[in-house]
Amino acid sequence: MESCFPILLCGLCFMSLVLQISYALDSISAGQNITDGQTIVSAGGNFELGFFSPSNSKNRYVGISYKKPSAGRVVWVANRENPLKDSLGVLKLTPEGVLILLNHTDGVIWSSNVSRLAQNPIAQLLDSANFVVKEGNDNDLGDAIWQSFDHPCNSLLGGMKLGKDRAKAWTGYPQLILMHRSVVRSSSGPWNGIRFSGIPQLRPNPVYRFGFVFNQNEIYYYFNLLNSSIPSMLVLSENGIAQRFTWVDRTKGWILYSSAQTDDCDTYALCGRNGNCNIASSPKCMCLTGFVPKYTSDWEFGDWTNGCVRRTKLDCQGGDKFLKYTQVKLPDTRQSWFNESMNLQECEQTCLRNCSCVAYSNLDIRGQGSGCLLWFGYLMDIRQVNENVQEFYVRMAASEVGSSFSGNPGARKSTGIIVGTVLSAVLLLGIAAVFTKYRRDGQIFGFSHQSRSEDLDLPMFDLTTLVNATSNFSEDNKLGQGGFGAVYKGVLKNGQEIAVKRLSENSRQGQVEFRNEIAYIVKLQHRNLIKILGCCIQADEMMLIYEFLPNRSLDCFIFDQEKGVSLDWPRRFTIINGVALGLLYLHRDSRLRIIHRDLKAENILLDNEMNPKISDFGLARSFGGNESEANTKRVVGTFGYMSPEYAINGFYSVKSDVFSFGVLVLEIVSGKRNRGFNHPDKRLSLLGYAWTLSRDKKFMELIDPLIASTFNPVEVLRSIHVALLCVQNNPHDRPEMSSVVMMLSSESTLPQPKQPGFFDETSASDASSSSDSRHKKYSANEITISHLLPR
């Protein structure tokens, strides 16, 4: 079963079908086709599959729609990303059991991916609206080769599973999350044995029965209709609202039965970190007891984005206590840990022993506090609800517990936020005092006096915890070495795997990187960026703690003949697109406009499913306002990925990252490093070699032989073409990342690329010499030539 987190939006499913001819049968066999104008109908006559056009469109799609009682309402679409341009399409079942949609030139527009081939396959439309491919003599749908229920559109029907295979990567205790691209719009809160804690309106009813399955194999939410004659479905609207519709009769039609999002407090993290939303209060947002607004002035103007911070610092060794809450939606559980066998008392002790644990709760409210759920980091997306008796305990400094404030936000009367400037000054002075003892060479290299307190807005790990997690930073746990220092694998007591970057004792550049990582990556949230979990500044140690990614970095695969075989073309193309989306977020969609300045294969990490995550923001810089470029006397980075204007003159911009991205794509396609590439016959860099092959229309000579049996010619050629546009010598000729993302996924005609930067070995060598000699004009204390060396 494919992952259904997040729910996918597909507006086509609101359109109507115009169908003409129906087969009497509900299935097709191998070799049979469904042409435009023909349909198949489920045995009970409830659903129909065929071609259709949305209103005011000439594009054609293959979809499943209701035939009765509400004819024409689409519930599933096959080729929603790739429409047909005419009515000459054909849906075909191959002898191997693969559904393919062909256009008028017999080109494949859409196909069903299958994990195994079939003998005598049939494709059958069931009366549940599930379109399945199975063996001709197999009546067991549990062994279906492929089924449309595993590839939902915007409609969840009775019998479908909304969830994922547990064998695939997942973090924290399960919840339902609604996202728009990479931005979380709302979440359900965790399942409490009866309902999701953030959806109290989900209760027993006369229309459907619902449940949540969480076992060793899969995790999913489901519902089954109590009366098949009363259709009901959960629909994700085009504006991102999950709504349940139920059919009444032909007069009233479909009516809105319920909605998952009911008010502003269902907006994800409306009140920021450690905040609580109460729709009955004015203002809606308040801080949890013992917390105060991070930026008071923002709260006075109704901006709660930055949330709340603790009024009193925790004292893990000296003894903390817990404040009990009820009638709240439990926080986002993506940074959580759980145990199904613990009781509530054991859960409390487990949280107390772990200094990173900030809250705990029971898992299942049907028992007597059965199970244990722990939170780490920040408490996000809490709101007041009226029907949640689940107990939730927040870790507090002992002095905060038992004060005049009630732990239950609902019991507090709404009051204005009044925090004096004196308190703010005291907090800032306290922060400065804490870090003064970590001075080296007359400066606070972790944080400056002038930095805002957001620089410290990161969970602090105890040194002992990290020593134990990494077996005292043993060589066996060492993952690699960079300009910052060594990176180690660690395992926390709760079983969570982490990666620890430890500043080397004599690394002056690492001190800058540490400050940069804190300043930038903490503010970034994107599925294609590495996630930072916290930091440690203790006993002259400075460390950054990240999520652990088991497949390490991209260079371990594309430049290795043995490992490279496992990275077939579909995976490589997914990596190319993922890196492009990550860069687009940095350049355009993040709070800060960030230039990475060191994008390379070594800094692209791969998760369990080989999805890419951009890492190492130690050299990053940000732009504000209308800034678009800057220059520096201190050129650092990795030669071979640096753009000419940066390597030679110190000018950098978003186009510098675009150049690095182009180099990376050519390396992914070819399996060859740009740095050190040497053509046997001509003095060409990898960029020059690719450009000459493109000019002579000899693309095939560039492609890595390891992907020869798996590559898609159209995708490979487009990737090479886009890469060459990115590495053009003049930065003004290079596209923005928004255009790159669009070009990679479209079929539009692309402009011809001009000559790339560092066209041959001679020019590259000249560039190195020029850059080196330029640096000699400056003080040795200010200038480094580390950009000429691998980092």
Q: Give the pLDDT band of residue 301 (cuts 50, 70, 90).
A: confident
Superfamily of domain 11-262: Bulb-type lectin domain (2.90.10.10)
The mean pLDDT value for 401-421 works out to 42
pLDDT at 789: 26
- The DSSP symbol for 443 reads B
CA distance 754 to 734: 10
CA distance 779 to 698: 48
Inter-residue contact 213 to 219 (CB < 8 Å): yes
pLDDT at 17: 38
Q: Give the pLDDT band of residue 536 (cuts 50, 70, 90).
A: confident
Domains 424-547 and 555-775 share a fold: no
Q: Give the pLDDT band of residue 448 (cuts 50, 70, 90).
A: very low
Give me the residue label for tokens 């911009």. 653
pLDDT in tens, 650-664: 888 899 999 999 999
The mean pLDDT value for 400-428 works out to 41
pLDDT at 90: 95
24-56 as b/e: b if 16+ CB within 10 A: eebbbebeeebebebbbbbeeebbbbbbbbbee
The pTM is what? 0.50
- DSSP sequence for 151-189: S--SEEETT--EEEETTS---SS-EEEEEETTEEEEEEE
pLDDT at 418: 28
CA distance 248 to 196: 27
Q: How does the average pLDDT of the chain come out, rounded? A: 80
pLDDT at 625: 52
Q: Which of 4-8, 164-168, 170-174, 460-464 has the highest mean pLDDT?
A: 460-464
pLDDT in tens, 89-107: 999 999 989 999 999 998 9
Q: Is the pLDDT of residue 170 over 70?
A: no
Quick one: what percent of the chain has pLDDT higher than 90? Answer: 40
pLDDT at 11: 39
Sequence ranges of the domains in the chain:
11-262, 265-418, 424-547, 555-775
Inter-residue contact 268 to 381 (CB < 8 Å): yes
| Pair of tokens at residue 401 | 């517990």
pLDDT in tens, 662-680: 999 999 999 999 987 877 6
- DSSP sequence for 666-723: HHHHH---STT---SSS-B-HHHHHHHHHHTT-GGGGS-GGGTTT--HHHHHHHHHHH
Give me the residue label for tokens 């095939």. 700
| Pair of tokens at residue 727 | 């590495």
Q: Give the pLDDT band of residue 281 (cuts 50, 70, 90).
A: confident
pLDDT in tens, 365-386: 886 668 999 999 889 999 998 7
> 107 Cβ partners below 8 Å, 6+ apart?
none
**Angle made by CA atoms 52, 48, 123, in degrees to the nearest 5:** 105
pLDDT at 23: 43
Inter-residue contact 527 to 611 (CB < 8 Å): yes
Neighbours of 645 (CB within 10 A): 20
Q: Comparing 773 with 631, which gets the higher pLDDT? A: 631
| Pair of tokens at residue 166 | 């547990």
CA distance 256 to 232: 10
Q: Comparing 423 with 144, which gets the higher pLDDT? A: 144
pLDDT at 509: 52
* φ, ψ of residue 62 in degrees (nearest 5): -100, 125
Say whether domain 555-775 belongs to CATH 1.10.510.10.
Answer: yes
Q: Is the pLDDT of residue 436 over 50?
A: no
Helix H segments across 537-585?
A: 555-558, 569-584
* Beta-carbon-side half-sphere exposure of residue 433 (alpha carbons within 13 Å): 6
pLDDT in tens, 22-52: 444 899 999 899 999 999 999 989 999 999 9
Inter-residue contact 616 to 604 (CB < 8 Å): no
Inter-residue contact 80 to 14 (CB < 8 Å): no
pLDDT at 6: 38
Q: Which of 72-81, 173-182, 218-227, 355-364 shows the lowest mean pLDDT across its residues?
A: 173-182
Quick one: what percent of the chain has pLDDT higher than 70? Answer: 79
pLDDT in tens, 702-756: 999 999 889 888 999 999 999 999 999 999 999 999 999 989 988 778 899 999 9
Task: Enumerate the active-site residues.
Answer: 598
The mean pLDDT value for 564-569 works out to 91
pLDDT at 539: 65
Inter-residue contact 664 to 674 (CB < 8 Å): no
pLDDT at 430: 34
Q: Which of 22-26, 433-437, 629-633, 650-654 has the highest mean pLDDT?
A: 650-654
Q: Give the pLDDT band of residue 784 (cuts 50, 70, 90).
A: very low
The mean pLDDT value for 278-295 works out to 90
pLDDT at 506: 56
What is residue 447's three-state secondary structure?
Answer: coil
Q: Which of 24-33, 261-270, 410-419, 619-628 shows the lowest mean pLDDT across its residues?
A: 410-419
pLDDT at 454: 38
pLDDT at 756: 92
Q: Which of 190-194, 298-302, 485-489, 562-566 shows the lowest mean pLDDT across its residues?
A: 298-302
Pick the CATH number of 424-547 from 3.40.50.2020, 3.20.20.150, 3.30.200.20, 1.20.120.80: 3.30.200.20
> 652 Cβ partners below 8 Å, 6+ apart?
595, 597, 621, 629, 630, 631, 632, 643, 645, 646
Q: Give the pLDDT band of residue 123 (cuts 50, 70, 90).
A: very high
Q: Is the pLDDT of residue 152 over 50?
A: yes
Q: Are strands 21-22 and 38-41 parallel, antiparallel or unpaired?
A: parallel
- Sheet arrangement for strand 242-247: 155-157, 232-236, 242-247, 254-259
429-467 as b/e: b if 16+ CB within 10 A: eebeeebeebeeeeebbbbeeebebebbbbbbbeeebbe
Residue 493 is assigned to a ligand binding site: no
